[in-house]
């Protein structure tokens, strides 16, 4: 069951960036509730989250359904284990073993407070250090973000959280410049969009938690790239679920089309893994110079170029 949390007593009144809905009913209301700073580490964005009175940087991950915390940080905070339930994480590279979550007395994200929040633990996030003090120690998942419509303005390093009520159809900022992407059926609170690779339509998960875009081997075959072609490509590895390495080959495709933007000759890692409900992870190599609007209220996705054109993913 999705946990919405309790709206804190005083909302942040931000005059700038108020959104409007079009087309919608007369009762549609869209209002910004919080504006959070984004920090970058290893090409990915993190936002502040308060756990039991301590401010932490947590990775903004539109591809994760639940929030999570590194085991090291859970131990450091002394969070007790909740033996009454267990969670299994699914992702690239397979699934984790079921694990008991840790109990946070109070978790605050923007204006929302969750009392006694059961948070999963995760491996695979490098710890903060002298060279990377802002490295995230956890994950902001869709269970947290879906309380709002979320605008991720990566060029401005800002995350805006909007309340949306009474709206039917697209809800976009009145600043303009946003383009709607074609959304497809997806697991709860995730966003899968239609893209074209080598001229063929495939399903891409919008994944702000992925540093780079990648493709499943099955999807590569469907667009005309077989095992012999991949064998001639540079080999490497990617980090899968719970830090498990996944073999990959970096292949140059003919073209990638996302919305109205065409990339000629993009190099994309083809992973020796099955992605399940989607074919591709569309990661931060594509997203970090753009603004992204995720409408959890209406299931729509909007994107806007926000800086110099990025290199092909």
- pLDDT band for position 134 (cuts 50, 70, 90): confident
Report CA torsion sign: 193, 194, 196, 197.
Answer: positive
Q: Highest-confidence range of 16-20, 169-173, 176-180, by mean pLDDT?
A: 176-180
- Could you tell me how far CA 15 lies from the centroid of its own chain? 27
Residues 204-263 pLDDT 10s = 999 999 999 999 999 999 999 999 999 999 998 766 665 567 889 999 999 999 999 999
Q: Position of tokens 């267990």?
A: 86
DSSP the chain: -----EE-SS-----TT-EEESS--TT-EEEEEEEEE-EEETTEEEEEEEETTEEEEEEE-TT-SS-EEEHHHHHHTTPPB-TT--B--EETTEEPPPB--EEEEEEEETTEEEEEEEEEEE--PPPPBTTBTT--SEEE-HHHHTTSEEEEETTTTEEEEEEEES--S-EEETT---EEEPEE--STT--EEEEEETTEEEEEEE-TT-SS-EEEHHHHHHTT--HHHHHTSPEEEEE-GGG-EEEEEEEE-SEEEETTEEEES-EEEEESS--SS-SEEE-HHHHTTEEEEEETTTTEEEEEE-SSPPPP-
How crowded is residue 238: how many other Cβ atoms within 10 Å of its Cβ? 20
Residue 248 confidence (pLDDT): 92
Residues 33-66 pLDDT 10s = 999 999 999 899 999 999 999 999 999 999 999 9
- Cβ 111 vs Cβ 161: under 8 Å: yes
Report CA torsion sign: 192, 198, 199, 200.
Answer: negative
How crowded is residue 40: how many other Cβ atoms within 10 Å of its Cβ? 13
> Given its phi and psi angles, is residue 53 left (phi above 0), alpha (psi -120 to 50 degrees) or beta?
left
The arithmetic mean of pLDDT across residues 152-163, rounded, is 95
- Distances in whole angstroms, Cα of residue 270 to Cα of each of 75, 192, 216, 219, 238: 36, 18, 6, 9, 10
- pLDDT band for position 124 (cuts 50, 70, 90): confident
The arithmetic mean of pLDDT across residues 100-113, rounded, is 95
- Cβ 151 vs Cβ 159: under 8 Å: yes
- pLDDT band for position 290 (cuts 50, 70, 90): very high
Residue 237 confidence (pLDDT): 76
Residue 63 confidence (pLDDT): 94
Q: Position of tokens 């990661």?
A: 283
Q: How far apart are CA 98 and CA 242, in angstroms?
A: 12
């Amino acid at each position: 069951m999705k946990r919405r949390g309790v709206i804190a007593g005083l909302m942040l009144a931000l005059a700038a960036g108020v959104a409007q809905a079009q087309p919608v009913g007369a009762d549609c209301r869209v209002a910004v509730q919080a504006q959070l700073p984004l920090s970058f580490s290893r090409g990915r964005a993190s936002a502040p989250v308060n756990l039991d009175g301590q401010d932490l940087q947590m990775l903004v991950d539109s591809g994760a359904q639940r929030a999570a915390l590194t085991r090291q940080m859970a131990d450091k905070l002394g969070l007790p284990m909740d033996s009454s339930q267990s969670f299994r994480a699914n992702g690239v590279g397979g699934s984790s073993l079921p694990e008991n979550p840790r109990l946070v007395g109070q978790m605050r994200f923007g204006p929302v407070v969750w009392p006694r929040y059961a948070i999963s633990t995760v491996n695979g996030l490098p710890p903060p250090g002298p060279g990377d003090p802002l490295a995230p120690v956890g994950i902001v998942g869709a269970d947290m973000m879906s309380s709002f419509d979320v605008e991720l303005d990566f060029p401005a390093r800002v995350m805006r959280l909007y309340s949306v009520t009474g709206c039917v159809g697209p809800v976009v900022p009145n600043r303009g410049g946003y383009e709607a992407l074609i959304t497809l059926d997806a697991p709860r609170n995730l966003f899968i969009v239609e893209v074209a690779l080598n001229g063929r339509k495939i399903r891409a998960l919008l994944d702000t938690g992925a540093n780079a875009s990648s493709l499943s081997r099955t999807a590569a075959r469907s667009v005309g790239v077989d095992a012999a072609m991949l064998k001639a490509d540079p080999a490497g590895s990617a980090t899968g679920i719970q830090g498990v390495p996944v073999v990959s080959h970096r292949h140059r495709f003919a073209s990638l089309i996302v919305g109205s933007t065409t990339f000629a000759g993009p190099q994309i890692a083809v992973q020796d893994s099955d992605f399940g409900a989607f074919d591709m992870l569309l990661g931060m190599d594509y997203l970090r110079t753009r603004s992204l609007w995720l409408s959890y209220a209406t299931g729509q996705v909007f994107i806007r170029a926000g800086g110099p054109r990025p290199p092909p993913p």
